[in-house]
Amino acid sequence: MGPATFADEIGVARAVISHILSERNKASLEVVQKILARFSEISPEWLLLGQGEMLKRLDENRATEATSSIETLETQKSSEELHSAQRNEKVQLPNSQIKGVKQQLASEERKVIKVILLYSDGKFESFDQPN
């Protein structure tokens, strides 16, 4: 994902990311919040402080909500609508259906391709996933 796509993905102007990457500006709290809101699997402690693991583990409640949402939406939406609706709708499923949804989630391939570390001194590091 390039800087322009990343900016669009988190909902900020492309110039904001360009200025951060060129070290003209530091990342604002708003930018950090938008990153965390869009990429909920990123650990806030890791992003802000560089401590702990980059990806946070889902606790049982969050896993249940995510899997419940997917199962319910599958029966109501086309696959294109499913991806956009997963972020917005939460529906509880009986525990008996959760196992199948978790298996489906595991089969979907979603990989981190780039990580940008922003430091308090205005510096940053960018790490790309090798092909």
CA dihedral 36, 113, 122, 18 (to 10 degrees): -90
Supply the pTM of this predicted model: 0.43
What is the CB neighbour count within 10 angstroms for residue 81? 11
Give residue-wise pLDDT tens across range 49-102: 888 888 887 544 455 555 556 555 555 555 555 555 455 555 555 665 666 666
Please report the pLDDT score of residue 18 as a whole number: 93
**pLDDT for residue 104:** 60
* pLDDT tens digits for range 27-39: 898 999 999 999 8
Domain-by-domain residue ranges, the chain? 3-55+112-128, 60-107
CA–CA separation, 77 vs 79, rounded Å?
Answer: 6
